[in-house]
Amino acid sequence: MKLTVKIVAGLVLGILVGVVFNLFAPGAFGPVDQYVLGPIGQIFLNLIKMLVVPIVFFSIVVGTAGISDPKKLGRMGGKTVGFFLVTTTIAISIAMALAYLIKPGVEGSFSGQSDFKAEEAPPVMDTILNIIPTNPVQALTEGNMLQIIAFAIFIGFALAVLGDKTKALRDLMEQGNDVMMYLVKIIMETAPYGAFALIASAVGGQGKEALQSMGMYFVVVLAALFIHALVTYSSAIYLLGKENPLKFYKAFSPAMAVAFSTSSSSGTLPVSMKTAQENLKIPKQISSFVQPLGATINMDGTAIMQGVATVFIAQITGVDLTFTQLIIVVVTATLASIGTAGVPGVGLIMLAMVLKQVGLPVEPIGLILAVDRLLDMTRTAVNITGDAACALYVTKSEEKRNEAAPSTAGDFKG
């Protein structure tokens, strides 16, 4: 919460400084932006971009190795992963549909990018064929994210199948992932200063239009999060979990509150598992499998942010995304959710990856950062709710086959 307060303070101060420059000292803004605000903001952006490739590789290898554990694979694993992938695809589709319906970035602009032209996207079939890298090292060097994700999944699956034979390499991958998470934590400590510089630069150069665009972006993301929770998850709870959604949300609300305050799916995991097992009566063996897995690969809230942000940035930079590029956004953001660790701020790193994949600039992330911390709190609560809904679904489906321990999942407390 201290970091949240600092970031909010930074962005508020940045807005005030930007407004002052924009209204009262427009002539002085150029030098200040060139020698102070611009460099500070660019350093923060570079720190984010620095971690894109390694964090995707390590986290997906580690996540896939856990998913593909031969002892855990099978019916329950298939249901869990299938649920996560379907809901994530639905989430980003809702987000992009709302973004095109409301058009949060149409009235705004981004200085220096008005003549930006996106690279022509390859045909869909070429994109699918190119997912498999012919040279993984080249893919890592060039930052070809779809190929990196595919290669990491193969490595993770092999580590799981080979088991103890590759324990040292698997430990190394986990240690590499830990190092990346630590670096994310450090970089997020600089976020208040990055937020101040980026938003001051944006507001100082763009004025009222930038603020209007950011406000509309905030509204669209928030609306998509609520629609996904109230429609997608409620439908899954009612149709697949055979339970009353209102009782579910009431029983799971303590974990949702913690998730909102911490902005960390991983950090909330002990509380969310305890709440699911005690209040939702999810069997411990199912909760212990589904929810940690969800904290690794089920990031619907982050996918929603990436979908809205990509369309928003395309609109403020005057780029018309092709149908092929929209498909690439859906595929990349869905796959990227597998590698989105449950820690605050990492969604911005994954957003940089998605933008790069469709040839959009990463500089407007500064506008996203201005309100991202507040949205991060909400989407974390959405993420862990999806994990619990999946655990309920798996519990009910396993009960029907009499292959899981008897459960009283319908006997919610409260």
Contact, 303 vs 384, CB < 8 A? no
pLDDT digits (tens, 9 = 90+) for 46-56: 887 787 788 77
pLDDT at 48: 73
Give the model confidence (pLDDT) of 210-260 as tens digits.
556 577 888 899 999 999 999 999 999 999 988 999 999 988 988 887 777
DSSP code string of 233-299 = IHHIIIIIS-S-HHHHHHHHHHHHHHHHHH--HHHHHHHHHHHHHHTS---HHHHHHHHHHHHHH--
**Predicted structure pTM score:** 0.65
Please report, for residues 30, 263, 282, 329, 405, the alpha-carbon distance to residue 251 in angstroms, rounded to integers and kept in the order given.
54, 20, 12, 35, 21
The number of angstroms, rounded, from the C-alpha of 204 to the middle of its chain's C-alpha atoms is 29
Max mean pLDDT among 97-106, 266-275, 348-357 falls in 97-106
Residue 390 predicted with pLDDT over 90: yes
144-175 pLDDT, tens digit per residue, is: 777 887 898 889 889 888 888 999 999 999 89
Task: Answer yes or no: is pLDDT of 356 > 90.
Answer: no
- Tally of CB atoms within 10 A around 72: 14
- Residues in CB range of 62: below 8 A, 6 or more apart: 156, 170, 173, 174, 177, 296
Structural domains of the chain, ranges and CATH numbers in brackets:
2-401 (1.10.3860)
Q: What is the pLDDT of residues 290-312, one digit of tens each?
A: 887 787 677 888 889 888 988 88
Rounded Cα distance between 410 and 413, Å, is 9
Closest among 294, 313, 286 to 401, alpha carbons compared: 286
